[in-house]
Chain A
Amino acid sequence: MEAVVATRPRTCALQAPCSLPGARELCRRAREFLAETGLAAADLDGWELVLDEAANNAVQNARPADRQKPIRVEVVAGEAVVEVRVTDHTPGFDFPDVAELPDPEAESGRGLFIIRSLTDEALYLRGARENCLVLRKRRSPGAAPQPDPQQELAEARQTLDLMTEELASSYESLSAIFRFSAELQADVPTDEFARRWLDQLLRITESDWFILHLKDRDAPCLRVAATSFVGWSGESLCLDPAAGTSPSVEVRAATERVDVWFDGQTPLPAGDPLAHLGGQGCGFAHPILVNDVLVGVLVVARRSNNPFGAGQVSVIQTFADFLGIQIRNTQFQEEQVRARLITRELEIVASIQHLLLPGQLPSAPRAALAGFYRSAREVGGDYYDALPTGDGNLLLVVADVMGKGLPAALFALMFRSLVRARLDLAPRPAEFLAWLNRHLSDELDRAGMFITAQLVFLDASRGEMRVAGAGHPPLLLASASGKATEIPSASAPLGLLPKEMFSEVCHAIPEGCALMFTDGLIEARNRAGDLLGIDEVKSLLAHAARQGESCEAIKQRLVQRLHDFEQSTQPADDTAFIVIAGQHAKP
């Protein structure tokens, strides 16, 4: 009996970046391997086509998060059967037992039919993280693999070389990452750090040029952050599709969030600035994403058409992604520093503003005073003051600059300075408002703001008060008998009409109490969104006046009511008020 010696199947494991050029390279190398095993030409054509369809499917349907993972192909060339396994990172699909040919006019759907038609067996194994397409086909008669010890030895050496290259790439990549991590401790600007980092990358991956665009934080565009083209500063690339800019592989990589490759077969699009800059070599644009947020796009390329190896592509992608994390961290730190600076500056403005508010209000003729101020933010636009003007007289001021925050606070300070500069006008509050209006109109108009204000002059000798308002809530009065009335303001706020006329009302200093306030008091809201309202404030004042409460007690009553009503909700507006308690009030 003659002994039958089975020939050991020859195997080949290949991988390539998840891109169409990568898929093509896989097919080419698999075909070369199969040719070496003695496969007939017709079988080679069939396998190249089947592999092309399977690998393209793996690229075109890869999950976005998995597009950095390579496509893997394993080929097992046996004596009678060739088996090919293609591993993909797509969501997977139901592989039909029988592939139907689509309508002749259909512009998709023929890939599966081709795979089914040109193989004897096709299995699709779906997994949680990856899927595997297993394809088998019998060899055509007369073509069997010829074992060739020399060939096998050469292949083993080649595999060893590839593994060595992969290891070397990984070592280069890791050592560079450690080296640059140490440099991060130094105070190096982001763009300079990126340039040095990417210069190293060119050396490691035998590339010729790179351009790093970073996404602008405030606009939909990419700006050049670093490049190997010395002296070239480049132009920003617009990411807004409506802008209709020139085609660019970088814009495509940024918007589609996939690696975009170019080479002799798939040249850079006409009009792409890179075509003029780097020439028609080969390379790819890699979108840099951190937590699904686009940080930038890196293009690395060669002037020749010598394609990148899988190890080199992996190094470039790793470098780019690590760089993206560093850039994002730096941006985050800068944002935090900026936010802390702004907060600190606001705290300073707030402390200045509080210092400028009167601490202890001065004694008033035939009345006692108490003031309250609360800002809805760190700084606010409300202001109150009580200014002695001589002979025991007093000017009381309450004002509200439209809006909140720093701009409102700055205008409140400006208003305060002007009031203090012309206290000689205090006895004539309407004239004083007209003067303030003339001197603030230009600035307020430029800023698109206005101020409501109320001036009350307490005349000691006459026992009266003269009231004038500019678009401000009314002065509330409550008699000792508990009757509440209003003195309204009929004029426009300061800053709206430069020639506005203001009127004033003369009234005896009340024996009960009076209240000057900004709208933050009556427009306070509770959790249900209800307003506190002027009627409730009037009612509260009337009750206090009847009880003959002191100004401090009335102030506390108002503050407590505000607190209870708002139910700890964040106030929407600044609030300021002055309580004027008459002679009948308790001390």
Chain B
Amino acid sequence: MKTENHGATLVITDIDRLSATNATWFEELAGARLSDTHRTVDVDLSHARFIDSDGLEALIAVRSRLVGRQGRVRLLSPAPMVKTMLKLLHLDRVFDIVNN
């Protein structure tokens, strides 16, 4: 996983899977990189082959941090499996999904 700062946006890329084995790591990484100036976190899920409930709940946890400061989490180009999961769990209504 990599993070980049684009102004008020924190971009997280290079995610090939987001599951119980690295969900905590993802959450800690995002927490460590987030500053008060960030309003948006963009999570690039275009290469995410696999996501499970722990992975999705880590995304929700990051979103909860931002909601308090009027921020948002955007999921960029989720891979098909991720998209299916978001729909199954009705989370496509919670996150901003950006399809390129």
Contacts and interface: CB of A to CB of B under 8 A. Distances in A.
Interface of A: 20-21, 23-24, 45, 48-49, 52-53, 56, 59-60, 101, 104-108, 110-111, 113-114, 117, 265-266
A24 B52 CA distance: 11
Contact of A107 (B22, B52, B64, B90): B64
B89 to A, nearest CB: 6
24 contacts: A21-B21, A23-B20, A24-B20, A45-B81, A49-B85, A52-B19, A52-B52, A53-B52, A56-B20, A101-B90, A104-B91, A105-B94, A106-B60, A107-B60, A110-B53, A110-B56, A111-B52, A111-B53, A113-B89, A114-B52, A114-B53, A114-B89, A117-B88, A265-B21
A104 B64 CA distance: 11
B93 interface: yes
Nearest to A19: B21
Nearest to B57: A107
A101 B89 contact: yes
B94 A104 contact: yes
Interface string B75-100: 00000010001001111011000000
Interface in B12-26: 17, 19-22, 25
A21 B88 CA distance: 26
Query: A110, A265, A266 — which one has the most chain B CB atoms within 10 A of its CB?
Result: A110
A104 B93 CA distance: 9
Contacts of B20: 20, 23-24, 52, 56, 59-60
Given A49-B52, A53-B52, A105-B64, A110 B21 contact: no
B61 interface: yes
A470 to B, nearest CB: 66
Contacts of A101: 89-90
Nearest to B52: A52
A301 B44 CA distance: 32
> What band does the interface of chain B fall in when counting residues whose beta carbon is under 8 Å from A?
20 to 34
Contacts of A114: 52-53, 85, 88-89
Given A53-B52, A265-B17, 19 more contacts: A24-B19, A24-B20, A48-B50, A49-B52, A52-B50, A52-B52, A53-B53, A56-B54, A59-B20, A104-B60, A104-B91, A105-B64, A106-B60, A107-B60, A107-B61, A108-B53, A111-B53, A114-B88, A114-B89
B27 to A, nearest CB: 10
A108 B55 CA distance: 10
Contacts of B61: 107
B21 A266 contact: yes
Interface string B44-77: 0000001011101100110010000000000000
Given A24-B21, A45-B81, A104 B53 contact: no
Q: Name the 7 nearest CB pairs between A and B, nearest first.
A: A110-B53, A56-B20, A20-B21, A111-B53, A104-B94, A52-B52, A107-B57
B91 to A, nearest CB: 6
A56 B58 CA distance: 15
A107 B94 CA distance: 13
A266 B22 contact: yes
B75 to A, nearest CB: 14
Nearest to A55: B20
A104 B20 CA distance: 19
A265 B22 contact: yes
Q: Which of B19, B21, B61 has the most CB of A within 10 A?
A: B21
A113 B54 CA distance: 13
Nearest to A104: B94
Nearest to A52: B52
A118 to B, nearest CB: 8
A20 B24 CA distance: 12
A45 B54 CA distance: 17
A265 B73 CA distance: 24
Contacts of B57: 106-108, 110
A49 B51 CA distance: 8
Given A107-B61, A114-B88, A56 B52 contact: yes
B50 to A, nearest CB: 7
Contacts of A52: 19-20, 50, 52
Contacts of A265: 17, 21-22
B25 A266 contact: yes
Contacts of B54: 56
Interface string B1-40: 0000000000000000101111001000000000000000
A104 B22 contact: no
B69 to A, nearest CB: 16
B88 A104 contact: no
A116 to B, nearest CB: 11
A53 B20 CA distance: 9
A110 B91 CA distance: 11
A105 B85 CA distance: 16
A113 B20 CA distance: 16
Contacts of A24: 19-21
A526 B42 CA distance: 76
A45 B81 CA distance: 8
B25 to A, nearest CB: 7
Contacts of A105: 60, 64, 94
Nearest to A48: B50
Nearest to B59: A107
A106 B53 CA distance: 11
A291 B95 CA distance: 48
Contacts of A48: 50
